[in-house]
Structure 1
Amino acid sequence: MRNISDIIEQYLKNMMQAGDGMIEIQRNELADQFQCVPSQINYVIGTRFTFEKGYLVESKRGGGGYIRIQKVEIPKLGSIQEHIVQNVANQMDQTTAEGLIYQLEEAEFITRREANLLRAAISRDTLTLKLPLRDEIRAKLLKSMLIALLSK
């Protein structure tokens, strides 16, 4: 059985798909709808709708406040290799790398199996090196593997 965080995440993603890739919600109203505390909504948004996962989140506090969530679009396949070459820096931490992999999987540029292999290869458990060398090797590995995968 899915937990409340998964249900809220899927609900918000469905709302975005039905619209134009952007939604505005009120935290308290959403919490009432799902019969949970408002901090649960904050948790879902803070962990599942991050920039690394391809979302921009903006909030306005106070009366009439809102939380705006917008999906960031990834370029089409023709320019995705160029996008990777330009945006994968010389160093990359694990969270950022996993965020990029997540975005590519969500956009269906790579399969779940390919994403799992990439995550395993760039993991800090695999790259047991000291920083900053670990982040440098992670960036080079990820860039090379993505270019190879996306040149289908």
Structure 2
Amino acid sequence: MRNITELIEHYLKQSLENSLEGTIEIQRSDLADKFSCVPSQINYVISTRFTLEKGYFVESKRGGGGYIRIQRVDLPSLEAVQRHIRQTVGETIDQTTAEGLIYQLVEARFVTEREAYLLKAVMSRDALALKLPVRDEIRAKLLKAMLIALLTK
């Protein structure tokens, strides 16, 4: 059985897939009622599972009639993805940002789950047991090299 966080995430992703515009607007309280949870659980799911690094733009308006708007940011073409990688990675990258980029590439089906698993293993602090900022510099160089190689296959 999945936990409530995964159920909410799955529901929101399905809603986004079914949306013609690639955007959904939800009310936190309505979603909390639907899943019999507190609104802060909805906030947690959105803030951890729907980040820009993972390919989502979230806009929130609080108060009466407030809403949360979630929009999927798609990576359109291989060239655009390669450009996005060069811009996102830069000279340094931390583990969380690297994993977010890998997640986004899996979601867009540019890399497989297996490739993502290997990429994440190499990006981990355990594999790169170096002091900062050298660790983030080496992580950036490795990630760029591996992604460019994977995406030009």
Q: What range describes the TM-score normalised by the shorter chain of this pair?
A: over 0.9
Matched, 1:135 2:128: no
Distance in structure 2 (CA, Å) of the matches to 1:98 and 1:86: 15
| Separation in 1, partners of 2:80, 2:43 | 34
Partner of 2:147: 146
**Would the alpha carbon gap of residues 12 and 117 (structure 1) be closer, same or farther in structure 2, given more than 3 Å must change?**
same
Match of 1:118 in 2: 119
In the alignment, the residues of structure 1 paired with residue 35 and residue 91 of structure 2 have an alpha-carbon distance, to the nearest angstrom, of 43
Tell me how far 1:73 sits from its aligned partner.
1.1
Query: C-alpha distance in 2, partners of 1:81/1:42?
Result: 32
Structure 1 unaligned segments of length 5 or more: list them.
Answer: none
Match for residue 65 of structure 1? 66
Q: Is the 8 A contact 1:75 1:83 kept in 2?
A: no
Instruction: Give the TM-score, by structure 1 length.
Output: 0.96
Alpha-carbon displacement from aligned partner over 1:69-98 (angstroms, at most 9, x marks no partner) = 111111312432233223321000111100
Runs of 4+ in structure 1 over 4 Å off: none
Distance in 2 (alpha carbons) for counterparts of 1:31 and 1:85: 39
The number of aligned residues is 152
8 Å CA contact 1:109–1:150 kept in 2: the answer is yes
| Alpha-carbon RMSD | 1.0
Counterpart CA distance in 2 for 1:29 and 1:82 is: 39
Could you say what secondary structure the match of 2:115 adopts? helix
Q: Distance in 1 between matches of 2:79 and 2:43?
A: 36
SS in 2 for 1:130: coil
User: SS at the partner of 2:91?
Assistant: coil
Is residue 15 of structure 2 the alignment partner of residue 15 of structure 1?
yes
Q: Which residue of 1 aligns with 2:75?
A: 74
* Matches for 1:35-74 after TM superposition, within 5 Å: 35-74=36-75
